[in-house]
A and B are shown apart, each in its own frame.
Chain A
Amino acid sequence: MLMCRDLAEIASDYIDGELNRRQSLTVKMHLMMCKDCRTFIGNLRASSNLLSVHSASRPDEQFLRQIDERVAEALNNRGTKGSEPD
C-alpha cells in the first residue's frame, strides 16, 4: 500500500509524467482519499511552475552587438567557403 511518504518520494515523477500506468494509478487512488497529499502535490507543482516563470534575465542589446562584432570578425578571417559574400 502506498503511504504518504512513498507518494512524497515519487511526487516529481508523477508531476512530470515519468511514472508507468500502474504507479500513476496508485498515486491517483491515494490522492482521491488523502487531502494532505493533494495539497502537497498541488504545492510542489506550483513550486515547479514558479521556476518556469522566474526565468533568467535577458541579455542587453549591447552585449548582443558585441557578439555580432566578434562573429563578423571571425567570419571575415575565415573567408567565405562555398557561399557568395553578401
Chain B
Amino acid sequence: MIQKKICILGAAGVGKTSLTAQFVYSKFSEKYLSTMGVKIDKKVVTVDDTSVNLMIWDIHGEDKYKKITNSYLRGSAGILTVIDGTRAETIQTAYEILERVHRDIGKIPNIFLLNKHDLSDAWDINEQALAELKKYGNPIYTTSAKTGEHVDSSFQKLTKMLIKP
C-alpha cells in the first residue's frame, strides 16, 4: 500500500487536533487540550480505487514563542493549513507558516481549511480576506470539526492531489 505523510499546520487553537479527531475517529470535544510537539494518527483513504495510508502529523500550533520546527515537516507530501474562521488574525499565521514551508520544504500540495464554520455568529472573515486567500491558488474549504462539515471531503481532496499531482 502507498503511504503518505501529511502535516496539519496553523496557529494555536484553530482546531487542528479536533479536525484530525473528527476525521480519524469521528469524535469531537469542546475541551481544548493544546498539543505539545506532535501527535500522529493514521487513516486509510481510498481515492479512485487507490488506497493510501495517510500518516497524519498533527503538529503543535504556532505562536510567537514556539515556531514549528522544520524537522517535523521533513518528508511531508502535503499539508492542510488551518485557519480559525472566528479569528481573522490566524490567517496571518497561516501565511507565515506557508511561506516557511515553501522556502524550506518546497511547494507541496496545500489546502486551506476555514474551520469552526458552525460558529457563524462569530465569523470574522470578510470578503476581502477571502479574496486575498484565494490568490494562493490552493483549494479552500470551510470546515467544522464540530459538525463534520467538509472534514472528510477536504482530506479526500488532499489525498487526491498527492497521488495525482
Partners in one complex: no
Binding site for A on B (CB under 8 A): none
Binding site for B on A (CB under 8 A): none
